[in-house]
Amino acid sequence: MYMTVLSLADARASLSRIVKSASTTHERFEVTRNGRRVAVLLGADDYDALLETIDILSNPREIELIYEGITDFNTDNVSSPRKFVRLSLLECDFLHESNP
């Protein structure tokens, strides 16, 4: 993953520009002070995606479901969206008929 490295002084002088770039192009910026990395700037959408990924990867059940989905896909054990919608509509009809 590529990150643009900026000194703290350069980041401060260009903050508006780098925030816009991070937000619109998903570019990431590494900010240094005295040559040492001290902060990372990334767009809010990228940050949210990162948090969501961490949340998913920290949940063993979600990982298990992901592997099951990959296995199903690789073995052609999948349904078409049309079949899913048809089954969902049938289920709705059944529920509607059984609850007058």
Start-to-end Cα distance in the chain: 58
pLDDT score of 85 more than 70: no
**What is the pLDDT, as a whole number, of residue 76?**
79
pTM comes to: 0.64
Parse the chain into domains and list their residue ranges. Answer: 4-44, 59-98
Higher pLDDT: 3 or 15? It is 15
Higher pLDDT: 99 or 32? It is 32
CATH class of the domain whose range is 4-44: alpha beta
| 29-80 pLDDT tens trace | 999 999 999 999 999 999 999 999 999 999 998 888 888 888 888 887 776 6
